[in-house]
Amino acid sequence: MIDVIPFESFGRFDNDWLHARYHFSFSGYRDPKRNGAGALLVWNDDEVEPHRGFDFHPHRDMEIVTYVRRGALSHRDNLGHAERIAAGSIQVMSAGSGIVHSEYNNEDEPITLFQIWIRPSTTGGAPGYVTIPLEQLGAGEGFVPLASGRPGVVAPAPLRQDASVLRAVLPAGGSATHALEPGRHAYLVATTDEFTVNGVKAKARDGIHLVGPTTIELGARTPTELILVDAP
């Protein structure tokens, strides 16, 4: 099964500082056909205007992965973390028994980011937090793990779920594959340009959902970056 969800069909929220597109049901947007992909519950595509952002708010029992695509995000939390997360970095926050944080754009230009929520395999536990500049990972062929809780998968950031967040950067004409095991869900989004998934055309910021068993075969018409979540 392959399902391409056009970017234009996503749920949306717009005010004077936030322009959000929701891949799945979130906040005031509800679609019974879009309630996540297995343990992947949320994928938001956000743009935040300069000097605005999300005030302190709580989370618990959620794995929250934020990928800053453009600009920089300023993070503060009740654990004492305070940092500026620049474009090309991911933040992985395990909310555990509870964390309170804020996210602000303190820059003079808008920022864009993906925020991905994954249901943990167990509840509670101490909160955790890590930020990884992707340049530290170096260049790899195909999909490179960014965060994972899967046995045997080496990633710089942990997840409290049998899931992985992976990234591929393909040149024009490049390709990559990913083996999806039976019953597992893959959800992937390209940040730039057009590409194909198992021969099906898709474009930047569309959502693509597949259920295993299958081999995912990606082809890039132009230089393309893709983020993929493999979840139970």
Cα 35 to Cα 12: distance, rounded to the nearest angstrom: 15
Q: Are 64 and 130 contacting, i.e. CB atoms less than 8 angstroms apart? A: no
Whose CA is closest to 5, among 180, 187, 184? 187
Q: Are 159 and 147 contacting, i.e. CB atoms less than 8 angstroms apart? A: yes
Q: Are 192 and 170 contacting, i.e. CB atoms less than 8 angstroms apart? A: no
pLDDT digit string (tens) for the chain, length 232 residues = 799 999 999 999 999 999 999 999 999 999 999 999 999 999 999 999 999 999 999 999 999 999 999 999 999 999 999 999 999 999 999 999 999 999 999 999 999 999 999 999 999 999 999 999 987 766 667 999 999 999 999 999 999 999 999 999 999 999 999 999 999 999 999 988 789 999 999 999 999 999 999 999 999 989 999 999 999 9
Q: For the chain, what is the domain count?
A: 1
Range of 146's domain? 2-231
Residue 136's domain is classified under what CATH number? 2.60.120.10
